[in-house]
Amino acid sequence: MNNLPNKKTSQIQYAIFDIGQVIYPFSLNPLVSLLQSQTTTLELYQNSANPLHYNYNPYMKGELTTEEFIKDLCRFCHVVYTPDIASSLNEALHQGCGERFTETQEAITFLKQHNITICLLSNALPILSDTGKGITAPEHTFTSYKLGLLKPDYRIYEAVKNTLNVPYSHLLFIDDKAKNVTAAHELGIHGIVFNRTTILSEIKSILLSKK
């Protein structure tokens, strides 16, 4: 049963969710296994030349196309690039995305019932852009590869705030990384470090405190 009436009771207008590890669990394990089976330097791969040590930041910021990213990752892992590898890599990354958390879905439903608009803000790889579809409208989906910025850069929160045209205090941000939430909080955004078991109760607590 809701602790709040079925209307907006706080100044918060937008709830902004991260995607990976908040909307759904994410793991690089399928990608690691795939490229390990294809590398030409297994010992080096096991030590450092693998997806766990690769720098994804340029791709996340939109500085590389998906094709360039796949080719660069193959080079880093000493894997011969082929169209088949590109297809398999795409599949492996999607396999790393688990089923959406029931607790997050319940939290989103609760927020919508109280007329709070859902947004997404993610550093997610562009190749996984389809995994957040259906959660909110495209104009409320913010990604690092479109903004050219990565959380916890303060400018990414500023860009979101300016687009939504509301004060920071009217935003609620949920992310699994404490440093990202801390950066948002320092600007005046209400923040929650995601925990499946407490997410809904924390949201209710914030909304009640802002009545």
Q: Write out pLDDT tens, residues 59-89.
A: 999 999 999 999 999 999 999 999 999 999 9
| pLDDT confidence of residue 8 | 43
Q: In what order do the strands lie in the sheet with 141-143?
A: 141-143, 117-122, 14-17, 171-175, 190-193
- Domain containing residue 205: CATH number: 3.40.50.1000
198 and 128 fall within a common domain: yes
Quote helix, strand, coil % in the chain, to nearest 5.
50, 10, 40
141 and 189 fall within a common domain: yes
Structure tokens at 26: 């994410």
Return the percentage of the chain with pLDDT > 70, whole number: 94
Task: Tell which of 71, 95, 119 closes a domain.
Answer: 95
> Is residue 6 assigned to a domain?
no
21 and 109 fall within a common domain: yes
139 and 117 fall within a common domain: yes
Q: For residue 55, what are the domain limits?
A: 29-95
Structure tokens at 157: 């929160």
